[in-house]
Structure 1
Amino acid sequence: MPSRTPLIICFIASSTAAFIYVINKCLAKTQLVQHVPEEYLWLPHALTNILGYMIVLLPGYLTYKYVQKVNYLNYGGEGFCMRTIGICFGEEEFILNPQSKVQPIQRPTSNEIFSIGYHFVGLQISYLTWGVLQEKVMTQEYQSNNAGPEHFKDSQFLVFVNRVLAFLMSGLCILIYKQNRHRCPLYKYAYCSLSNIMSSWCQYEALKYVSFPHQVLAKAAKTIPVMIMGKVILKVKYEYYEYVTSVILSIGMLIFMLNAGNDRAHSSVTTFSGAILLVLYITCDSFTSNWQGTLFKTYNVSPIQMMCFVNFFSCIFTSVSLLQQEAFLDSLDFMFKYPQFILDCFLLSVCSAVGQLFIFSTISKFGPLVFAIITTIRQGLSILLSCIIYNHHLNVIGIFGIALVFVSVLLRIYCGQRLKKVQKSNVIKTQRISV
């Protein structure tokens, strides 16, 4: 049986991938996909993208179930197939030792202030630039002497370029800097990779239907879905103040959405499409962060390893999907017609990748509190910068809604720190009494 297993695995993977490919091609020729109103074009695009990802996911899932059924990993051996299956699906028992955690390095105050300032500036520059370029690429017309004005439409191609550069940069960091021993089976990265791709795609696609300030505020208002995902996936128990601040945040977001001008909303239909895309974006993004948190805790994965392997799967998913849709040629043709797009696309990807590195470095050195404060400031500056550059209209009530959102975020951070200090103080008092 073991000698035939590699052949059976190859057959399962190739036949399943071919079957999904044929279904996708047949679906692309149906009236359902070819004659969709412009305001609902994102629906067939999302469907064909997901079917493209299934070319990789379904064969992988069936291979995993077959390997489990025949207990292939327990046969032993050193062949290429065995090693590959072991890396992808092999589980290794591993219990974190609290004593093995790296202790933070105590630095002089002046050095710490300089380092925080460096990370603050790096995050602001990378993500503010990324936000401006993201809105430009998805909403502004490109012009050239050889062609008329045209919008770039393929959000998935942007996701692909971003993920390729992020994978290369994180892979280079792994080669240069020493990392923890990697113990996580690779297939577990596929879940958060898929949700990460979908959240990014929805984020780009939503800019066709809602303004950038709406998108940023929706991103800030993802606290409630994150809490829901946390309770479902990680079984987390939240404090009272977390529910209160989430309600305040949601009220502020609702006020802003109802009163701020949306220059993408040419009709109620496009507004509805934008709202659905924002909900999908927030849901996928919330799952991504919670699933990654599970891998961090279970397998002691380093942030750079997480970035590398998640982007590795993202590159595979998006490239296969683009190839089966024959979309690479269209995007490359657009790049040749509008050279300015090449520069924007490259800078967008660089800012995204550099921003991810700053995020992981900030969290590892200063913790989630400092990162949350920097992110909150960045979101406020993103809205301000977008309104200045692209002339988005904001009325007084809309500004009040924005203020409520950011007040709730800062209040949440403050209450969290106060609670930690109270708990620490109670622990010290208990120790003194026991002594």
Structure 2
Amino acid sequence: TYSPLEYFSAFTLVTGVALFTLGDAAGGSVNFNPIGVVLITLALCVDALTSNFEEKVFFRVGKPSSQAEVLGYASLLGCFWSLIQNISQGELGPALAHASEHSRVIPSICAFSVLGYVSVGFVLSLIKYFGATEAEIVKTLRKVLSIIISFALFPKPLNWQYVVGFAVVCASIYLTTKAKKIKREQKALAGGA
């Protein structure tokens, strides 16, 4: 179970990321769309639920699964559903024709697949050894770091939403660390009593 502080920490994390997104809107970004904000928010929520589900079902049981096992079955299931979708929407034939006509894309597709596999393997390791909360923090920090790098590569004006969003994300990390410390201390007291 999660403490009220952990729930508040998760709320602040989502708020910080939302402020970053709203910073793009305030900056007059031509690509900004409110539907995108809704979809990103839903993606963050589903992502968090997935990590918690994986932690409880695969790693916090009597006989935990290995990361390779979880990743193997998830990849197999993903390939199956992608194949069904591509066939049902009539996209498989054109995709295969494009790949045979432009064979130079095949190594890029393979490299992207390998990097995706390694990335998910790292996330599963984070969940297994540190927990879903820490995994979500690392994933969110990666997203924030991507935004910061985009400022360096594609300069744009800094506004208050970016600054406050970054501060709120940092506050969330502090709150999560504090909540974990409190939980460890309570567990130690309960074990020693």
Identity percentage over the alignment?
20
8 Å CA contact 1:387, 1:393 repeated in 2: yes
Larger RCO (CA within 8 A; separation ≥ 6): 2
Q: Deviations over 1:167-186 (max 9, x none)?
A: xxxxxxxxxxxxxxxxxxxx
- The residue identity in structure 2 corresponding to 1:307 is L
- The residue identity in structure 1 corresponding to 2:111 is L
| Correspondence for 1:277 | 39
More off after superposition, 308-317 vs 280-289: 280-289
For the residues of structure 1 that align with 2:127 and 2:52, how far apart are their CA atoms?
A: 16
1:290 to 49, 52, 58: 52
Q: CA deviation at 1:427?
A: 3.3
TM-score (norm 2): 0.74
- The residue identity in structure 1 corresponding to 2:166 is A
- The residue identity in structure 2 corresponding to 1:285 is D
8 Å CA contact 2:16, 2:166 repeated in 1: yes
Are residues 414 and 282 of structure 1, via their aligned partners in 2, closer, same or farther at CA, if it must alter by over 3 Å? closer
Q: Deviations over 1:255-283 (max 9, x none)?
A: 32323243423xxxxx1332343244234
8 Å CA contact 1:376, 1:409 repeated in 2: no
> Does the alignment pair 1:398 with 2:165?
no
Q: CA RMSD in A?
A: 3.1
Q: Which runs of 5+ in 2 are unaligned?
A: none
For the residues of structure 1 that align with 2:108 and 2:182, how far apart are their CA atoms?
A: 44
8 Å CA contact 1:259, 1:398 repeated in 2: yes
| Correspondence for 2:171 | 408
- The residue identity in structure 1 corresponding to 2:182 is L
Q: CA deviation at 1:338?
A: 5.2
Q: CA deviation at 1:303?
A: 2.5
| Correspondence for 2:91 | 327
TM-score (norm 1): 0.37
For the residues of structure 2 that align with 1:370 and 1:248, how far apart are their CA atoms?
A: 15
Q: CA deviation at 1:397?
A: 1.3
Q: Deviations over 1:364-402 (max 9, x none)?
A: 4x523775665454333322233444x263523132133
For residues 172-191 of structure 1, the aligned pairs below 5 Å read none
8 Å CA contact 1:248, 1:408 repeated in 2: yes
Q: Deviations over 1:275-299 (max 9, x none)?
A: 3432442343344333333422456
For the residues of structure 1 that align with 2:141 and 2:111, how far apart are their CA atoms?
A: 22
Q: Deviations over 1:108-134 (max 9, x none)?
A: xxxxxxxxxxxxxxxxxxxxxxxxxxx
1:311 to 75, 82, 94: 75
| Structure (1/2) with the larger helix percentage | 2
Are residues 333 and 388 of structure 1, via their aligned partners in 2, closer, same or farther at CA, if it must alter by over 3 Å? farther
Return the index of the structure with the highest Cα Rg: 1
For the residues of structure 2 that align with 1:394 and 1:346, how far apart are their CA atoms?
A: 37
Q: Which runs of 5+ in 1 are unaligned?
A: 1-235, 266-270, 431-435
Q: CA deviation at 1:340?
A: 5.6
For the residues of structure 1 that align with 2:104 and 2:31, how far apart are their CA atoms?
A: 23
Q: CA deviation at 1:322?
A: 0.7
